[in-house]
Chain A
């Protein structure tokens, strides 16, 4: 069983690519997450906004993927993930926008 993770791609109003993740990211589904980011980046050198606001768990496997593309990513993260992003040093490489978690959760 892999951890529950839903990945949705889209576009921001400004045209920037957007990847929205919902669920948990760990070793069991990190490959899936990596593939989704690769796809969203699409080989071009544009930027990608990764919306993690509905992610409840992110471990070092997920972080590794984000680190690999850090210079092209912009993250939207819930407060819950903030310590992980800060402590890992990712916040220093990418833009992290912290938003409150969805009220439904």
Chain B
């Protein structure tokens, strides 16, 4: 830079500097450059192109620089100077560009090179460049383009850079993105740590502006690290705790100036040395050099903490950067403020709720009655009881209710008073020495009858204790009575055990039950006043929640403790420990033993209360209901007729009201009240019993208490509403719980009305009347709806969620015969076809039923059974809808009777299927079988029998069940079928509805459809059967005609092909096409030629049927005649060409024509377009005889045909065939030929005839050959057959012939000799014996060979009077030799001669 400074002072003097005139300031500095020292030389000498470029550059207001010449000398304009060059100006002017931009030359150098070498402009957008223009390495972004500059002759000699700096934009956008992300927190409220974590995630994403950040929160005298980004928490620069110390700074070892920040001031901290070594670098390669710490300000209070933001070392900390950091701090502070205020609010809300709960509990449970009015009630009541002993029942019952409830109230009030006394310390107690065990046992015994009635054991185990315990009798009674009544309330099975013991200087009293137990989470509050365990199963929901609290207080007054331990579902045990002696008692309260108080006066209210919880308690007894609980289960409603039906205002037909209340008195009271108003009343004592009663017989109205054991009133309503059958029963709820909340809860559950206790009798009656009236109106509405539905022509039904039909209309009953009286119809509905007898129909219905429940709407057609049993088809459509009353999903559907349509369609379908089957049939029996099969499928019959009655033959059974014959048919069925024989055809028989007779080409056919058991054969079925039988009769006639035609053709074909005497060594086959069974034009022929050779021909005429067969016959004869004459295959085929030209249908016939020398195996052949013969060698090799090939017959008559020659080696097999054997649709012919080759190869050790069968079988397509097939096999040599008179002189010539044949078989000398010896011995045998009896008879020898076996058969065919004696003894040596020479020997003597068969394996 000093250079630049040095130049600045120089005046522009050089000539030609007018080129710089476009800009005064920069121009002046350019002119001052010592251009002569640059490669460009003085400006005066500059080419015009450079001058123009410079003047454009200088005159532009857009930021540009350019470089020219071999050193790329640097020029720039004023805008570039201002925006980019910075402190490099004017030093840079006239210097090589590489020097000017040394720090970024790695980035821009290649770009400039590209421009200079390719003359293509470059474009870079917002490229990050670290410039050294402001005294430090600066992060900058530039968008620029380099374009080539050319000299006067057009050579690229420089470049122009147009550039705009975008650093501000890029950096600004980056910071904005961070601030935007910080503000994008989607959640409204969150905890402090969540708010910070979210913010830190956002800060962490900007490693450019914030290489790392730390957030500290003040926490008493220190600052706690609440989060960090880009740096590991606990790094020396990121300690987890910082002291907030006024002395501050590095002096006290504090990394960050927490004290300064705590005062609300920011601080810029240089990051060097000490804890700041090894700092993370953010997204840069170098660590930050300073950090800005800003307080997290709190309005009107000390800051929450502070944020440390490490700063980007490549950007100056200008106002924007500082503002950015402060905005982040502001955001963090706002987040903290939100989170803290939210938490504070929540805490406040919880406190308020707690307070409110306590208040509600207290007020809802306390009864504001006091003793004085009670006394004034109870006194007169007792008096009245005495005075009115003879009054009528009603009065006495009333009085009883008053007395009992008075007592109950008194007990409650007494307990409350005890509490207030205890709290005020005014409890007057006198502790007298007492026998704790005796007192306790006596108290327990008071409950005995109640326990008995509840079916619970009361086990009192109270042995005398060693010393007395000081008790206040009144208090102790309350303790024990409370515990016992409590235990009974919550115990349903088992019992209660009360025991006393002395233990470690204490008297220990235990009351343990086997009841429902106390949930663990309730245990801590068990003895809390007014606390009740919600939803506990209990005998009664009565209770104020003060019993146990009082017990605890009372035990405490005795200097004792009470503890409970409990397991849910197992029971609860209360353990009271009382000290012996008097040390723990106030001396003034200790009394001397006094007269024991009568227990009953205190205990009575407890016992009375307990008894009321039990079935058959005092309330029912008092009302005259059965007092013996054994007379009826407790859930059975007690029904009584209206007490006075004639009472004024009673409805004509009394409405039924079901009262559900666990309080016997209330139950009784309501019952009397309602009966008095003329209603029939049933009462039950809990919600479960109520539900059962309603389900059994729905009342017109249910009046139910809310608080009940087992199932409370709200749950009862919910259950009723959930069941469509009971959803409409109106419910009036009664509750003692005050507050609007509770009544809304009741109505929401679906109650029709809600009445608070206490209520006036008139109020209750008014509500009951109103609700009944309302229900009646609803019923009216639903009656109108029913009428509407009933008037529908289509059947209508409603199903509940489970598929039970709960509503139907009149059309439903008309169509199906099932009426509304039996509703609901749960699935499986009675109209479903029987699953056992008609599985298919049943399945259709059950499938349809599944869609009914699964899909929201749909239609289906299904078979159903009318109540009277006849089959119907219905087309149904259904929809799922919500029942507005219950909110439950129901299915509403309609259906039509489409039986007639169904059968019409079925008929059409059946006819179509049958016609198709008949049309496809290849013959009469196929047609009949097909037709019967169709019938069987149509009716899903077990089987269909058809019996053909002919005049001249016994009945023949044709059935779908192939195992059956006429003889094996059950007698009954035979008789039935026999009877049909004389029925007129196509006339349904009344006696056998599922049978019919029809004309068969050969007689009368009786058809019997055997249905699955018990399924009816309806009129519709009969009509259909008749119709189909007519079609079958026609179809059979047609099939019969086809049969006849084909039989004729086949007879002709067979006549043409054979039976001719085949030469030895050949096997042949002919198979007509299978479907339709049809003869064709394929043939084979083999015959002896005059010269001893054998002619072999296989041919294939185009076309099928009789016509082709006729052509074939002519060609076959012609070919044979020509070959006999000529014995040259090629000449024969050429002559046959001429012949075929004149025969219609003969051209294009393919023929293989060959002449075989049976001695040598030499084969001369020529092929007229015929598939190649296959030659399988004995070693398994397969060869195609594809030579001698030319076009099919008569295609090029007169053209010479080639001849090929080959030798069939010993034990090789040749296969000739027509294309029907190998040609398949969608398969290459070569593939078929290869398959045939493999089959011959595999079967080369089989007897030739077996091999022929095997080939035809293996290659046959699944449905039989679809074209006719001719096949010819030859194995060389042909078997040897010699017949000679039984004379020994014949042995030598026979041996010679066999030796010759064996030579043709190419066997080893040794094998040959063995065979010769064995055969010789057998022949000698035959001759020797022959001489003896019938000289001159004939002996035959046959020798056959395949690939690896040789077979010899020697038979003498003379007439034998007696079986020959044992050969072994006679000619033992000969037989031994035969056995030794051959592997297998069998000698079969017989009346017609003896046959010796020998086999041996031979070398392949």
CA distance A58 to B1291 in the complex (A): 12
Which of these, B1309, B1317, B1373, contacts A57 with CB under 8 Å?
B1317
Question: In this complex, what residue of A is CB-closest to B1289?
Answer: A1
Task: Please provide the chain A residues from 1 to 39 with a CB less than 8 Å away from any CB of chain B in the complex.
Answer: 1-4, 24, 26-28
Do B1313 and A60 have beta carbons less than 8 Å apart? no
B-chain residues with CB within 8 Å of residue A4 when the two chains form the complex: 1292
| Contact indicator A26/B1324 (Cβ below 8 Å) | yes
Q: A residues within 8 A CB of B1295?
A: 3, 24, 26, 57
Q: Contacts of B1290 on A, CB cut-off 8 Å? A: 1
Q: How far is the CA of A59 from the CA of B1377 in the complex (A)?
A: 9
A67-88 contact mask (Cβ, 8 Å, vs B): 1 or 0: 1000000000000100110011
Q: Does B1303 contact A (CB under 8 A)?
A: no
Find A88's partner among B1288, B1314, B1371, B1376 (CB 8 Å cutoff).
B1376
Q: Do the beta carbons of A26 and B1376 come within 8 Å of each other?
A: no
Residues of chain B with a CB closer than 8 A to A26's CB: 1288, 1291-1292, 1295, 1320, 1324
User: Do A88 and B1309 contact each other (CB < 8 Å), given the known contacts A1-B1289, A1-B1293?
Assistant: no
> Which of these, B1289, B1317, B1324, B1371, contacts A2 with CB under 8 Å?
B1289
Which A residues are in CB contact (< 8 Å) with B1377? Answer: 59-60, 63, 84, 87-88
Determine the chain A residues whose CB is within 8 A of the CB of B1374 once the complex forms: 59-60
Residue from A1, A59, A83 with most neighbouring chain B CB atoms (10 Å): A59
Complex contact A28–B1373 (CB within 8 A): no
CB-defined contacts of A24 to chain B, threshold 8 Å = 1292, 1295
Chain B proximity of A33: nearest CB distance (Å): 13
Do B1292 and A28 touch across chains, with their CB atoms under 8 A apart? yes
B972 an interface residue at 8 Å Cβ cutoff?
A: no
- Contact in complex: A83, B1313 (CB < 8 Å): yes
**What residues on A are CB-neighbors of B1316 within 8 Å?**
57
Chain A residues, Cβ within 8 Å of B1310: 80, 83
A87's contact among B1291, B1309, B1380, by CB below 8 Å, is which? Answer: B1380
CB distance from B204 to the nearest CB of A (A): 102
Mask for B1300-1319, Cβ within 8 A of A = 1, else 0?
Answer: 00000000011001101100
Task: Contact check, A2 vs B1376: say whether CB atoms are below 8 A apart.
Answer: no
Chain B neighbourhood of A88, CB < 8 A: 1373, 1376-1377
- List chain A residues, Cβ under 8 A from B1371: 60
Residue ID in chain B nearest A4 by CB atoms: B1292
B1078 contacts partner chain A, Cβ-Cβ < 8 Å:
no
Least CB distance, B500 to chain A, in whole angstroms: 117
CA gap between A24 and B1288 in the complex, in Å: 13
Contact partners of A28 in chain B: CB under 8 A: 1288-1289, 1291-1292
Quick one: CB contact mask for B1251-1292 with A, threshold 8 Å, 1 for yes?
Answer: 000000000000000000000000000000000000011111
Given the known A-B contacts A2-B1292, A63-B1373, are A27 and B1309 also in contact in the complex, defined by CB atoms under 8 Å? Answer: no
Residue in A closest to B1293 when the chains form the complex, CB atoms: A1
Contact A3 B1373 (CB under 8 A): no
Nearest CB of chain A from residue B1087's CB, rounded to whole Å: 33
B682 at the interface (CB under 8 A from A): no
Scan A87-103; emit 1 where CB is below 8 A from any B CB, else 0. 11000000000000000
Known: A59-B1317, A59-B1374. A1 touches B1292 (CB 8 A): yes
Interface 0/1 of B28-41, CB less than 8 Å to A: 00000000000000
Encode B1359-1392 as 1/0 by CB contact (under 8 A) with A: 0000000000001011011001100000000000
Contact status of A27 and B1324, CB under 8 A, knowing A59-B1374, A60-B1374: yes
Chain B residue nearest to A84 in the complex (CB) = B1317
Q: Chain B binding site: helix, strand, loop or mixed by DSSP?
A: helix
The complex places the Cα of A83 from the Cα of B1289 at a distance, in Å, of 25
A60 and B1380 form a contact (CB under 8 A): no
Chain B residues with CB below 8 A from A27, complex form? 1288, 1291, 1324, 1327-1328
CB distance from A3 to the nearest CB of B (A): 4
Q: Report the nearest B residue to A90, measured CB to CB.
A: B1373
Size band of the interface chain B makes with A: 20 to 34
Distance between B1289 CB and nearest chain A CB, rounded to angstroms: 4
Give the distance to chain A from B1327, nearest Cβ to Cβ, in Å: 7
Nearest-CB residue, chain B, relative to A63: B1373
Q: Find the B residue at minimum CB distance from A23.
A: B1292
How far apart are B1315's CB and chain A's nearest CB, in angstroms? 12
User: Is the Cβ of B1293 less than 8 Å from the Cβ of A60?
Assistant: no
Hey, which chain B residues are within 8 Å of A87, CB to CB? 1376-1377, 1380-1381
Chain A residues, CB < 8 A from B1380: 83, 87
The residues of A that contact B1327 with a CB separation of less than 8 Å are 27
With a cutoff of 8 Å between Cβ atoms, the chain B residues found around residue A59 in the complex are 1317, 1320-1321, 1324, 1374, 1377
Q: Is the CB of A60 within 8 A of B1324?
A: yes
In the assembly, what is the distance between CA of A84 and CA of B1377, in Å? Answer: 7
Task: Identify the interface centre among A1, A27, A61, A63: most chain B CB within 10 Å of its CB.
Answer: A27
Task: Flag B701-716 by CB within 8 Å of A: 1 or 0 each.
Answer: 0000000000000000
Give Cα A1–Cα B1296 distance, bound, in whole angstroms: 13
Please report the C-alpha to C-alpha distance between residue A31 and residue B939 in the assembled complex, in whole angstroms.
87
A87–B1378 alpha-carbon span in the complex (Å): 10
- Min CB–CB distance B1376 → chain A (angstroms): 7
Instruction: Say yes or no: A83 contacts B1314, CB within 8 Å.
Output: yes
**Contact A83–B1292 (Cβ < 8 Å):** no
* Most-contacted residue by chain B among A4, A26, A58 (CB, 10 A): A26
Chain A proximity of B971: nearest CB distance (Å): 68
When C-beta atoms are compared, the residue in chain B nearest to A56 turns out to be B1313
Known A-B contacts A1-B1293, A28-B1289; A80 and B1324 likewise in contact (beta carbons under 8 Å): no
Give bound CA distance, A84 to B1314, whole Å.
8
* In the bound complex, CA of A61 to CA of B1292 (Å): 14
Residues of B within 8 A of A67 (CB): 1373
| A80 in contact with B1309 given A24-B1295, A59-B1374 (CB within 8 Å) | yes
A83 to B1288: give the CA distance in the assembly, Å: 23
Residue of A nearest to B1288 (CB): A28
* Complex CA–CA separation, A26 to B1293 (angstroms): 12
Complex CA gap A28/B1328 in Å reads 10
Q: Are B1313 and A3 in contact (CB under 8 A)?
A: no
**Docked CA distance A50–B1293 (Å):** 26
Give the residues in chain B near A2, CB-CB below 8 Å.
1288-1289, 1292
Q: B1381, A57: Cβ atoms under 8 Å?
A: no
Cα-based distance from A61 to B1327 in the complex (angstroms): 13
* Closest Cβ neighbor of B1313 among chain A residues: A80
**Bound: A59/B1290 CA distance, A:** 14
A58 to B1316, CA, bound (A): 10
Q: Nearest-CB distance from A16 to chain B (Å)?
A: 27
From 1317 to 1335 in chain B, residues with beta carbon under 8 angstroms from any chain A beta carbon are 1317, 1320-1321, 1324, 1327-1328
Alpha-carbon separation in the docked complex, A24 to B1289 (Å) = 12
Least Cβ distance of B387 to chain A in Å?
Answer: 144
CB distance from B1377 to the nearest CB of A (A): 6
Cα distance A61–B1321 in the bound complex, in angstroms: 9
Chain B nearest CB, measured from A64 CB (Å) = 6
Write the nearest CB–CB distance from A2 to chain B, whole angstroms: 6
If A1-B1289, A27-B1288, A88-B1377 touch, whether A57 touches B1314 (CB-CB below 8 Å) is no
Min CB distance B1307 to A, Å, is 14
The 9 A-B residue pairs with the shortest CB-CB distance in the complex, in nearest-first order = A3-B1292, A28-B1288, A60-B1374, A87-B1380, A60-B1373, A1-B1289, A27-B1288, A27-B1324, A59-B1320
Q: Which residues from chain B sit less than 8 Å from chain A, CB to CB?
A: 1288-1293, 1295, 1309-1310, 1313-1314, 1316-1317, 1320-1321, 1324, 1327-1328, 1371, 1373-1374, 1376-1377, 1380-1381
What would 8 more interface pairs be, CB under 8 Å, given A60-B1373, A60-B1374, A88-B1376? A1-B1292, A3-B1291, A3-B1295, A26-B1320, A57-B1316, A57-B1317, A57-B1320, A83-B1313
22 residue pairs from A and B, CB less than 8 Å apart: A1-B1290, A1-B1293, A2-B1288, A2-B1289, A4-B1292, A24-B1295, A26-B1320, A27-B1327, A28-B1289, A28-B1291, A57-B1295, A57-B1317, A58-B1317, A59-B1321, A60-B1371, A60-B1373, A60-B1377, A63-B1373, A64-B1373, A83-B1310, A83-B1381, A88-B1376
